[in-house]
Chains A and B, each alone.
Chain A
């Protein structure tokens, strides 16, 4: 009797569940066939995606839509369906299964939307599934796009194959702000994190060892070390030291100018705890910044501009070129000649954020009208320099009419994450684009979210400095905050 009751109860529950779900799903019937492609948010039309990316959920751009329905099909007869009032939200396992069945192939997405006058079905669009996978996740800072004062902010990691986001550390755990997080080719075993404010420090983790808090300011350098970039060997970190100021525009569409009044470069030897300085990289007449090692670790790329005379605020005349100097990792010494790789100032342009791909083929950089803090420049765009042929071209597929600024390569050098303000002109969002074997740059797509419009509309924070990570960082925020709040710091030494 008990068993019968149990079976009846189970059937009853199942029927109820089925009824509940069927009540939430509408059949797309008597739909008006539209010749146009659907206007969806984010714009995922014709994008190339990695085989392991989280579901590309989306909304209708027109918010008067009562329902949105999407069916994804492949050439093998598989399909995936989702329907919702605000957005389509594909089942994550089914999505990954579908992508895994279609590497190097296209998926067709048919979108229908219900308005007051009934259903409309739009022309299908394609999504190309690249067999090139993307790294495990992304690490970024979330911060309000402000001026000098900061509210709540922190460093977060996001699993790119799902929607999971986790805080590594937030400034609720100590007094100050966090920035300049950096990993060695996406490997969090080597990590650098900078803390500003009364508990200022640089936290370094080398080869998965414990975090150590350093005082990076020495009597021979300009100030604290910033803009870190790891040497591929993990032994060195290139830093710049910058005396940075801000001024504000009275009426320009660009709100802020962040500029340096002095800046130098140095490389830190992690094993010997010493900064390696070179007079050629700390010239008073030159602003040197954004150092990055080449893929083979034998060159240091950086940006350099002629310094303004003291008291001169002609900020629009500061233009940075892309330069290079030899670096010998065996001896930790620099060459004695600086080469100009991209003479941007000759074109009245300025280079910032050089990032060589890890396969040594390309170098991606941001080009703006002047200065080096390109996130506040609406005209800033990404350019791609072929390091073999010297071909230099804008990344048309990745760029938009608004700001494109910071960017980073995935460890297989096939994906680029880029910061863009194309969404609303102020809040920075991460986008991804594919660079194939021939250097063809695909259309960029926005970091997927379950309900993208709601997510990005409700989040009044910018995604700052997105960096790929190959695995979870395993960063213990509590332990880190104890280290930060402890006043002891290990001083950086300087090589004699």
Chain B
């Protein structure tokens, strides 16, 4: 029987692992890029001193690993499996074998609800840690102590747990209690699914103890399997129905643009033509990076000039692929502004490794070495950006090394040398100025002509072609 329980937990863990690894990897990348975990005592203290700070720290620590989707999927699978195992342990305390087995499937309910919670790209791992730590401490108290001592400890545990994990330890749906606790990226949104997961854990543990007094029976194996299958089927359908695969696709395009996977982008758009703005922007960027934009842009969906260089919006997500296009074009100040604004727009006020990296690059290209150094030194305190920061720091002030660098040298040559003002729109004059500054900048050439084609500006198109010839 014990092996059957372990097998079901394993099955559940593998399902979670495969789901996040295969079907939802870019949601994990998305999570990673909107935080910057620093191995720094001040950073840690600033988090830990808040209510729920310990789980926030644990959540942020784990989130940095989501840069590698399979590692992230493994972490989530382990956390959700651990929640289920703890639920089962708590079921077993003072319950008859019959009750434990007939309600075995219910031990998966909080884990499934947490899985549902994590389908939302704004749900944070701190919530999962909060449920896990609450159950762990509850189990430890129940397991290690006897009667009166247990009651005393439970009373003491609630305020201590509140400091460590926040209101999940006492799941009352009063919004003011949950306000300011970092379980969800929108500070003003009440995380109902997380609350439901925490609440279900409480309700189930007490319900099991209640039914324990009422019934007894045998045939444990069938009961356990049936209850597991029932819960797994219902919850599995709920997970699949609530997964946002449309967003996953958009995040995939953003991820590929961020990692400059131009060939992979072209393979993806050939398999399924994107019809959302980010997808089209990334598709056009990849085509231009491979010198194919002018010949092949109309083989794919276009979204007028909004699919080429869309107006920058004040959110954290949509400007990032556009910023990548600005950067690759050599519009360094425009890229810098776009990335800075995107980072400032992160809803829970966190910083972003991806943004810090790009801001270090744009400042380096612009010769603002002290500002670049500031970003690089912060990245040195991270696990996965440290090597890159260490490699980049010696470039600061080294004009010769920057000039011969394949990326920074090229972008310095392409960047504007004539100053003008720009606002939220990219105008053809901006592209024209970029192109005539350096006619070797084929990206600018392609974008300029593509702009003319998409707006039907024949006069400008002919003018550029004649100049080119």
Which residues of A are in contact with B by a Cβ distance under 8 Å? 144, 146-152, 172, 175, 246-253, 255, 257, 313, 315, 423-427, 454, 457-458, 460
Contacts and interface: CB of A to CB of B under 8 A. Distances in A.
A458 B40 contact: yes
B59 to A, nearest CB: 18
B171 interface: no
5 contacts: A146-B340, A250-B331, A255-B333, A257-B421, A457-B377
Contact of B430 (A144, A246, A250, A313): A250
Contact of B349 (A146, A151, A249): A151
A152 B349 contact: yes
A427 B423 CA distance: 23
Given A146-B344, A149-B344, A151-B346, A248 B337 contact: yes
B421 A249 contact: yes
Contacts of A248: 333-334, 337, 421-423
Given A149-B344, A251-B415, A255-B336, 11 more contacts: A147-B341, A148-B314, A151-B344, A151-B349, A152-B349, A172-B349, A247-B421, A250-B334, A255-B337, A257-B421, A454-B42
Given A148-B341, A151-B344, A426-B368, A252 B349 contact: no
A424 B346 CA distance: 25
A423 B373 CA distance: 12
Contacts of B314: 148-149
A251 B416 contact: yes
Interface size of B as a range: 35 or more
Nearest to B375: A460
B371 A251 contact: no
A251 B344 contact: no
Contacts of A149: 314, 341, 344-345
A457 B187 CA distance: 28
B351 interface: yes
Interface string B314-349: 100000000000000001011011001101111001
Contacts of B295: none
Q: Which of B187, B340, B344, B417 has the most CB of A within 10 A?
A: B344
Contacts of B180: 172
Interface of B: 40, 42, 180, 187-188, 314, 331, 333-334, 336-337, 340-341, 343-346, 349, 351, 366, 368, 370-371, 373-374, 377-378, 415-423, 430, 433
A148 B338 CA distance: 10
A250 B368 contact: no
Q: Which of B40, B374, B417 has the most CB of A within 10 A?
A: B374
A250 B333 contact: yes
B82 to A, nearest CB: 31
Contacts of A257: 421
B421 A144 contact: no
Given A426-B368, A457-B377, A250 B420 contact: yes
Contacts of A151: 343-346, 349
A412 B430 CA distance: 52
B420 A147 contact: no
Nearest to B418: A251
Contacts of A152: 349
B72 to A, nearest CB: 25
Contacts of B42: 454, 458
Q: Which of B333, B336, B346, B351 has the most CB of A within 10 A?
A: B333
Nearest to B373: A424
Top 4 A-B pairs ranked by shortest CB distance? A424-B370, A152-B349, A247-B421, A251-B416
Contacts of A250: 331, 333-334, 416, 418-422, 430, 433
A150 B423 contact: no
Contact of A146 (B341, B366, B370): B341
Nearest to B371: A426
Nearest to A145: B340
A426 B368 CA distance: 9
A425 B340 contact: no
A433 B93 CA distance: 70
Contacts of A460: 351, 374, 378
A150 B343 CA distance: 9
Nearest to B187: A172
A247 B422 contact: yes
Nearest to A170: B349
Nearest to B345: A149
B421 A313 contact: yes
B287 to A, nearest CB: 25
Contacts of A458: 40, 42, 378
Contacts of B373: 424
B216 to A, nearest CB: 54
Given A149-B341, A248-B333, A250-B416, A424 B349 contact: no
